[in-house]
Structure 1
């Protein structure tokens, strides 16, 4: 199984939208995908199921690793797509703590997911690199970084990459899969300029070619508790995530074996 973290230095960059719809794209392609809400705010769960606050989930497992994963996994209408909510364990909700405090339990969770037969585990984390989020990144195979296409947000990316380099000390296998431009507004010059600046700032192969546009469809999909591709008029938006899935698959084997391109 491959574990892929979606992480950002700051909130409000479309991280949860990216996590949900990328996971759905992989599941549509026949990949047995588990989407984990590792953000204490529970954004994934709230977007996909209105009962998420009542469900045991990821943070409950961190509090008690003896909980069987089967009690946490929530199936969806798509057989290959399952969800684990953030859960109710309040002791972990601050996301703080010393790096490494939850490392063993996060790794135990990922082993349990692999043993249950999932091909891919996508984890949507809280913003920042500390506490549980840091341990999730340090336990995973790869990290994907959403970055809003706006001038101030661009400046935080080098700092994030510097922090990720520190986490490689804890997990030498960690690879930075790339930066994903989000909320791109084709009609706004400042947004396009920021996107261009990011592509100039970072190595060419580090920024994914596929970008996520700002689209009201994502708001509608979230309001209905659905991935955007399920909407009747969501085909165009779904195509974005299908293209992103293809880019990612070119970088690693989702069964857990890296392709040479992934490094």
Structure 2
């Protein structure tokens, strides 16, 4: 069993959308996938009922070791809440979405500190909601090199397919082959780091 945690101390960076799409991709490859919502806001829990092929489990059961699956993917809060250290302790890999913006990079400092305190060994930054041909993205990539967390090769671009994910059962229910390829590449890159 492998546990992937999607974490970032800044809200609005697309954690839940990435959890949904990565989980659906792994599920389509034949893996037994469970998703858990460690965010009190409950966005993942609210959408799980309308998504086919995903098994929502309680974060309590995950923390107690009661969930059996090939892959567990956990959505987290943008706050350092009481469950975060325990969730990070379970992580085989922590995916950190960062939007190309200076405030998003600044928030990464807190996330890196929390990962260091938790003793997280494997983590990677994914640039999310990237706008095409934007000089800011290049500048942010340079700023991210200052962190000890590696930046993954895959970038997730700003696409309507991601916004519509809960209505189309993820990007794989849409006709956006570019979005599908991005999620597939991201999932493969995560697997390479497990």
Could you state the TM-score of these two structures normalised by the residue count of structure 1?
0.67
**Is 1:113 aligned to residue 44 of structure 2?**
no
Change (3 A) 1:135 1:228: same
Aligned length: 194
**Is 1:182 aligned to residue 142 of structure 2?**
no
Alignment of 1:39-58 (within 5 A): 39-49=39-49
Match of 2:91 among 137, 140, 144: 140
Report SS of the residue matched to 1:47: helix
**Cα distance per residue 1:200-259 (max 9 Å; x no partner):** 3235x711101111112212223x16211112x13221111111111111122xxxxxxx
Report SS of the residue matched to 2:94: strand
Change (3 A) 1:84 1:235: farther
Per the alignment, residue 245 of structure 1 pairs with: 187
**Is 1:127 aligned to residue 127 of structure 2?**
no
**Cα distance per residue 1:30-49 (max 9 Å; x no partner):** 11111112211111133343
Paired residues of 2:93 and 2:190 also in contact (CA < 8 A): no
Match of 1:162 among 107, 110, 113: 113
Structure 1 residue ranges without an equivalent (≥5): 51-75, 87-101, 169-173, 253-263
Per the alignment, residue 173 of structure 2 pairs with: 230
**Cα distance per residue 1:145-194 (max 9 Å; x no partner):** 111111221122233212211112xxxxx323211111111133223422
**Is 1:82 aligned to residue 18 of structure 2?**
no
Change (3 A) 1:166 1:85: closer
Query: Runs ≥4 in structure 1, deviation > 3 angstroms?
Result: none
CA distance in 2 between counterparts of 1:137 and 1:247 reads 19
Structure 2 residue ranges without an equivalent (≥5): none
**Cα distance per residue 1:41-85 (max 9 Å; x no partner):** 1111333436xxxxxxxxxxxxxxxxxxxxxxxxx643xx42236
Root mean square deviation of aligned Cα: 2.2
CA distance in 2 between counterparts of 1:106 and 1:248 reads 20
Per the alignment, residue 140 of structure 2 pairs with: 194
